[in-house]
Each structure stands twice: as C-alpha cells, then as structure tokens.
Amino acid sequence: MSEREQPETTRPAVTPPRSVPDTPASAPEVPPPAGLRRELPAEVPPAAPRTASERTGASEAPRTAHTPHVSQKPQASRTPAADGPGEPGLTGRRRLVNGLWPPRVTRAQLIVALLLFGLGFGLAVQVASTSDTDSALRGARQEDLVRILDELDDRTERLEDEKQGLEKQREELENSSDQAEEARRQTIEKERQLGVLAGTVAAQGPGIEMTIEDTKGTVESDMLLDAIQELRAAGAEAIQVNGVRVVAGTYLSDADGGVSVDGNKIKSPYRFKVIGKPQDLEPALNIPGGVVQTLEKEQATVTVERADKIVVDALRAPKRPDYARSSSR
C-alpha cells in the first residue's frame, strides 16, 4: 500500500506549525527524524530547523490545547524591596527616612553638636536676662520711671560736683606758693567732711524732718531701715533718729515696745532729722509704693516737712580700727 492510501487514523497527532520563521541561508539543514519523515505525506515540505525555545513552545502546545481554560486572578504588581535609595520604587520621603534612620554619628559630628548646644544655651540665657530687665522697666509706672530718671540725674550731678571739687583742690595745690600750708588746710576740711559722715562732728544744713506715729505698734525695724536706705539713696548726708546718729555701720533690731538702733532702744513717735536736698528727699519718701505708703498700710501716721536749717547734733564716739591702717605715706 502506498503512502497516499494509508488511513488517516494511523497518522501521528502532531500539527505542524502554522508559520515557520525564516532561517538564514547559511544555516545547515537538519533532517527530521526518520520515523516522522516516513509518516508524513509526500507533499508536506520538510520542517525548518527550530531553536530551543521554539521547540519547547511547540512541545507544550499540545498540552495547553487539551487543558481546560482556568481563569487566573490578576497578580499584584510586585514592589521592589526597599534595600537602598537607588531602588526605582522608593519615594523621595522614603529615601530621606532611609538616609536619616538609623543615625550614623561620628565623633566629629558629636563634638560639633555639643558646641552648638552650648552656644545656643548661652544665647538663650542672655536673651532671657535681657528680656527680664526690659520687662521690669516696661511694666513700671510713669511715676516710677520719672523717679528713677531723677535719681540718676541727681547721682550724676553729685559725682560731677565731687569731680570738680577734687580738680579744684589739685589746682590749688599746684598753684599755691606754700603747698604744705594748702595741703594742711585741705586736710582739715576733708577731716570735717569725713567727721560728718562718720558722725563724730555735728552738722547743719537744709533738709527734712519726718515723724512716724505708731499707735498700733505695727512698725518694725525693717520698715525704719527701708526709710534710712531710701534717704541715703536720695542723697542724705546726715541722719539722726530720736537722738541716735545713723552712720554706715548702724544696725536696727526689734525690741519690746519699740526698735533698737545700735543697741539704743527708741519708741514711737520716731523722729528723723535728715540733712540733704529737700527737693530730692521728700519725693523719694512719697513715691507710690514707697516708705510713706508702706507705713500708712500698717496704720501709722507719717508727716514730712521741709526745712532750710536742720541741726544734727547727735555724735558718735570715734572708734580706732583694730586692724586697718592708713596706706598713705
């Protein structure tokens, strides 16, 4: 029986590929297997040689042809692992986080950070102290600001007068024909001034008299001390309280029914004799929240009077220092 007359059932169930890619002319032709060649009809041309991938696809084609259709779920797009900042799937924020955490700190960076922290802390403290001073002045009342300016002007004026007096003394010493006599005269004058401040000589001049009536017994030593300090700040040169001379070393303490000044007990009414510029002394006592208002809150009666002549005649015995000696030769 010839090959045309063979029944179709004996033919193999291999379907030749529909399209065969062109192969280069120089490629050698590989003859098909002998058994397959004998089974194909005569008019079917020999198959061209195929690559490995095509042979694999051809061998899998019959399997997929008989496999029933199964619907496959769409696979989720794979996100590349965030192993480094160069991955294409990372956003800018994620790359920034990966670069900052975990932190990689070197010794140089740590030293610079500590220096910057110290500098910032110092600046913060400086700004805070400056702001506290500014806020205190900003919150002050107009009367207080005027009083502060007046006190500064008075202190400046007193310092200027002292400077001019010292310059005048120097000129007199330099221009005097008898410099020894002039030096002796200035020494005596300086001794009198220091005696007034030390309380060893009497003094007189313009000033004020302040009387404090304490009928309730509520006035304490610290209130009188505040009055003395306020008078000194206003330019008082000599102060006497109930026959006791107030000097630089004066101390006050509470006593039964009164106040003790340098160990001398005094009682109400407390009379202050103060030598100084009345235009400065009286306003210093009557400022809002000052000495007068504080004493009046304690139910005490305060009167302040100006006078052209105040006599401070209470004296202190001169005391020789035990250890201090003059360094001038």
Q: If you write DSSP's letter for every residue of 66-77 in order, what string do you get?
A: HSPP---PPPPP
pLDDT of residue 93: 80
pLDDT band at residue 2 under the 50/70/90 scheme? very low
Q: Which of 49-53, 152-156, 284-288 has the highest mean pLDDT?
A: 284-288
pLDDT band at residue 210 under the 50/70/90 scheme? very high
Residues 10-24: what's their mean pLDDT? 49
Residues 109-135: what's their mean pLDDT? 78
| Crossing angle of helices 142-175 and 179-198, rounded to 10° | 150
Specify the residue for token string 């100006």: 306
SS3 category, 207: strand
CA dihedral 132, 138, 141, 146 (to 10 degrees): 100
Q: Give 3-state DSSP helix, strand, coil % of the chain, rounded to 5.
A: 45, 15, 40
Contacts of 237 (CB under 8 A, 6+ apart): 196, 197, 203, 205, 275, 276
Question: How far apart are alpha carbons 94 and 228 in whole angstroms?
Answer: 73
Q: Are 291 and 226 in contact (CB under 8 A)?
A: yes
pLDDT exceeds 50 at position 197:
yes
Question: How far apart are alpha carbons 139 and 119 in whole angstroms?
Answer: 30
Q: Which of 274, 252, 271, 254 shows the shortest CA–CA distance to 262?
A: 252
pLDDT of residue 135: 60
pLDDT exceeds 50 at position 186:
yes
Question: How far apart are alpha carbons 270 and 224 in whole angstroms?
Answer: 9
> Worst-scoring range by mean pLDDT, 39-43, 148-152, 224-228, 324-328?
39-43
pLDDT exceeds 70 at position 39:
no
> Worst-scoring range by mean pLDDT, 123-127, 139-143, 302-306?
139-143
pLDDT band at residue 46 under the 50/70/90 scheme? low
pLDDT of residue 199: 87
pLDDT exceeds 70 at position 196:
yes
Output the average pLDDT for the chain. Answer: 74
Give the pTM: 0.47
| Strands 252-255, 258-261: pairing kind | antiparallel
Give me the percent of the chain exceeding a pLDDT of 70. Answer: 66
**Is the peptide bond preceding residue 102 cis, with omega within 30 degrees of 0?**
yes
More confident residue, 1 or 160: 160
pLDDT band at residue 308 under the 50/70/90 scheme? very high
Q: Which of 19-33, 72-86, 199-213 has the highest mean pLDDT?
A: 199-213
Rg of the Cα atoms in the chain? 57
